[in-house]
Structure 1
Amino acid sequence: MPSLAIHRLPMAHPGDVSALTALIDRGAVAAGDIRAVIGKTEGNGGLNDFTRGFFTQTLMLLLARETGQDLAALAARIPCVLSGGTEGALSPHFLLFAVDRAAGGARGLALGTAFSPPTPAEQIGRDSQIEAVAQAVRDAMADAGIARAADVALVQVKAPCAQAPGPGARAGDPRLLMALSRAAAAFGVGRALGDIPEGGEDALLRDRHLFSNRVSISSGIEVVANEVVVFGQADGWAPGLTAGVAPMADLLDLPGVCAAFRAAGLEAAPAVPAAQRGRVLGVIAKGEPDAAGAIRGARHTMLGDTDLDAQRHLRGALGAIVASVAGDGQVFVSGGAEHQGPPGGGLVCVFARD
């Protein structure tokens, strides 16, 4: 009967795993128990963001040294979901998820992982990617022992992209292909959970009213397959941890942000009291600039700025809102929320101790 542990660790630079090394050295976590990593690096979050691959390489080198396992084998079983861009108040950090198979209980927060087969550029944003992600979600649920889709709190996916898509790709612009990859992965999760029961590749980026409130997707050229992490309630897992999830209607939806913290058993009116901040183990937020060009009737300029990418605007703005509620800049805020919450909105997930 397993037990899930979550550690939120700081990063002094994109290759810094010293905080994890310290945990391993003092016996606070066993390297072989590490199942997934979700983190924010300080790059630009774009196609040429080397910080994500740099961190992944450094992490896998550490785990290979500690476990004696092959680098490729580790990378093939440990999802490393990284989002570049720590604009404004955001602080580089990563969430480490470890599973102790010797401990457990009646029912608690469970984690499961799975990888799809490699997804070449010509399959990105197509029905084949949607179905591959859906199957990986089902596999991850089985890995966690989550019996019902209703018991899933959040699915985090790192989806592939291609810097040089080639003639067979659905889009020649790598940035559009990255968005299509996120959208297809969101549809795949929604299909597996029953949140998006219909719609295929023709609906991607078009029918924004098809979405799931339980999915967070990042995309990048540093991965070749869809890497899936599922969180939810399952029998046999130790109690004591909670994942509170709530949608955001738009970028200014402070009540929606607070609702996620309250769903995790925390007071947020709107900020989490200082006495409760130690219970917060990690925060994940997804958002996007409203494609209509306005928020609550007021025009925004995020999509038309030729000096600063729209996602950097988004991360800086949403990061300030979420971090002010959490009372901590170590929050995972990622742009590109296609089909991951209401159009122009997104979602927030809070991991906390009971």
Structure 2
Amino acid sequence: MKCSVIKIPAGAPHDMSGLKASAEEGLFRPEEVVAVLGKTEGNGCVNDFTRGYAVMALKDFFAGAVKGGAADISYVMSGGTEGVLSPHFTVISRSGQAGLASERERDQDQSQDQEQGLITGGPKSLAIGVARTRDFLPEELGRLSQVDAVAEAVARAVRDAGITSLQDVHFVQIKCPLLTAEQIYDAHSRQVSLVTEDTYKSMGYSRGASALGAAAALGEVERSALREEEIGVNWDKFSRVASTSAGSELACCEVIVFGNSQSAEGQYHIDHAVMQDAIDGAALQGLLDRYPGEELVQVLAKAEADPDGVIRGRRHIMLDDSDINHTRHARAVVGGVLAYVGGDPMIYVSGGGEHQGPKGGGPVAAVFRRR
């Protein structure tokens, strides 16, 4: 497997001119694209239709660029480019064989390679795996049924990437659904209960359940010890690599696993750290210091307003602002900090960090290219 990551500026959610030009220049081959991450300039809340608009434009672009269409591409759009964050698309490509079907097959192949001298202990390269859950019923969002479905999908995506050690998983991007007024009405008509009837709060529950699903799949939390009432409440349980984003444009969860594998090849690789709070730029700086001389290709991060209302002992008002949602405040802060450290505002920063990193913090991953 050989994977690559490039980022392309966007003049608007529907602006495909950059993708078209990049494809014509040979920077990526449309038929090898497995996922597109986007930052669109909507509000990132329930009624952010820039996400669906971008997905519609992307599907139309790839339908025309790939013979027979490109139905298997995962589209993960994150709304909200507050502050200095720059709207863009991150195009993720993969060529060659995908992940092996089972651990037994991986072990057999590795054993044969070792006997033949094919495994030399060289550097691991970027490996990408994708998977989708089934569509969820409204009453499943934010509950253990969502946790379990996401955990299964994350495990499939890890296998799809050909990653043999969970320690080599450095970022798990999940796009998850939310509750709409129409879905709430449907639940009422069937006399089923929902985790919440607040559409905005449903985003947090869905993000949190998805993150805990990733944590369960990666062994970061014990699934048997997880209780439904802990979702969105017990911040001691979290994933160090999960990033989840909720939207109304889908009913399932789209999962993209980023990691490194000995069976992958190419110049790209990924690493991650964990921000302890919204101004922890040292987390990204540590990654940059770890790989001197390498090109920083993209930064992927979560942003959260600390639910305690303080940052390093100082009071913040992000949770009390009735005019601007706290997720928008957090994206602006974290985006500014990481843009300064990395020297580029065209980065992927997603708001809402429920069970994604420690309380008030969040994972940050960096994709590098060896020179």
Using the size of structure 1 for normalisation, the TM-score is 0.91
The one-letter amino acid paired with 1:24 is A
* SS of residue paired to 2:153: helix
The C-alpha deviation readout for 1:18-60, integer Å capped at 9, x for no partner, is 1111122233322110001112111110111111111111011
1:326 aligns with 2:342: yes
The question of whether the paired residues in 2 share the 8 Å contact of 1:247 and 1:348 is answered with yes
**Alignment correspondent of 2:217:** 192
**Alignment correspondent of 1:130:** 147
Match of 2:135 among 118, 124, 127: 118
* SS of residue paired to 1:302: coil
Write out aligned runs for 1:333-344 (5 A).
Answer: 333-344=349-360
**Alignment correspondent of 1:152:** 169
The question of whether the paired residues in 1 share the 8 Å contact of 2:4 and 2:126 is answered with no
Task: Give the stretch that moved more between structures: 131-140 or 305-314.
Answer: 305-314
* C-alpha distance in structure 2 between counterparts of 1:213 and 1:239, whole Å: 26
* C-alpha distance in structure 1 between counterparts of 2:15 and 2:29, whole Å: 18
1:162 aligns with 2:162: no
**Alignment correspondent of 2:50:** 51
Match of 1:305 among 321, 333, 348: 321
The question of whether the paired residues in 2 share the 8 Å contact of 1:340 and 1:347 is answered with yes
* C-alpha distance in structure 2 between counterparts of 1:262 and 1:231, whole Å: 21
The question of whether the paired residues in 2 share the 8 Å contact of 1:244 and 1:261 is answered with no
The question of whether the paired residues in 2 share the 8 Å contact of 1:137 and 1:230 is answered with yes
* C-alpha distance in structure 2 between counterparts of 1:308 and 1:231, whole Å: 32
* C-alpha distance in structure 2 between counterparts of 1:260 and 1:236, whole Å: 23
**Alignment correspondent of 1:9:** 8
Q: CA deviation at 1:102?
A: 7.8
Write out aligned runs for 1:288-299 (5 A).
Answer: 288-299=304-315
The question of whether the paired residues in 2 share the 8 Å contact of 1:244 and 1:262 is answered with no
The C-alpha deviation readout for 1:233-286, integer Å capped at 9, x for no partner, is 2232114212121111111212223223334x147xxxxxxxx6xx12111110
**Alignment correspondent of 1:61:** 60
The question of whether the paired residues in 1 share the 8 Å contact of 2:275 and 2:361 is answered with yes
* C-alpha distance in structure 2 between counterparts of 1:334 and 1:122, whole Å: 25
Unpaired segments of 5 or more residues in structure 1?
268-275
The C-alpha deviation readout for 1:271-327, integer Å capped at 9, x for no partner, is xxxxx6xx1211111021111111111111001111111111111111110000111
| CA gap 1:102/1:204 in 2 versus in 1, 3 angstroms | closer
Q: CA deviation at 1:137?
A: 0.6
Q: CA deviation at 1:156?
A: 0.7
The question of whether the paired residues in 2 share the 8 Å contact of 1:118 and 1:224 is answered with yes
The one-letter amino acid paired with 1:96 is V
Write out aligned runs for 1:66-81 (5 A).
Answer: 66-70=65-69, 74=71, 77-81=72-76
The C-alpha deviation readout for 1:102-134, integer Å capped at 9, x for no partner, is 89x964210000000111211101111101000
| Residue-pair matches, total | 337
**Alignment correspondent of 1:29:** 28
Match of 1:259 among 286, 311, 317: 286
**Alignment correspondent of 2:203:** 178
The one-letter amino acid paired with 1:65 is G
The one-letter amino acid paired with 1:287 is A
Match of 2:267 among 215, 240, 251: 240
The question of whether the paired residues in 2 share the 8 Å contact of 1:157 and 1:227 is answered with yes
**Alignment correspondent of 2:107:** none
| CA gap 1:88/1:266 in 2 versus in 1, 3 angstroms | farther
* C-alpha distance in structure 2 between counterparts of 1:237 and 1:320, whole Å: 33
Rg comparison, structure with higher value: 2
Identity %: 38
The one-letter amino acid paired with 1:38 is L
Unpaired segments of 5 or more residues in structure 2?
99-117
The C-alpha deviation readout for 1:167-223, integer Å capped at 9, x for no partner, is 332110011111010000001000000011131321111110101111111111111
**Alignment correspondent of 2:114:** none
| CA gap 1:293/1:24 in 2 versus in 1, 3 angstroms | same
* SS of residue paired to 2:208: helix
1:83 aligns with 2:78: yes
Q: CA deviation at 1:161?
A: 1.0
* SS of residue paired to 2:364: strand
The one-letter amino acid paired with 2:365 is C
The C-alpha deviation readout for 1:304-354, integer Å capped at 9, x for no partner, is 111111111111111110000111110111110111111011121111112
* C-alpha distance in structure 1 between counterparts of 2:220 and 2:198, whole Å: 29
The one-letter amino acid paired with 1:101 is G
**Alignment correspondent of 2:108:** none
* C-alpha distance in structure 2 between counterparts of 1:219 and 1:15, whole Å: 20
1:100 aligns with 2:95: yes
**Aligned Cα root-mean-square deviation (Å):** 1.8
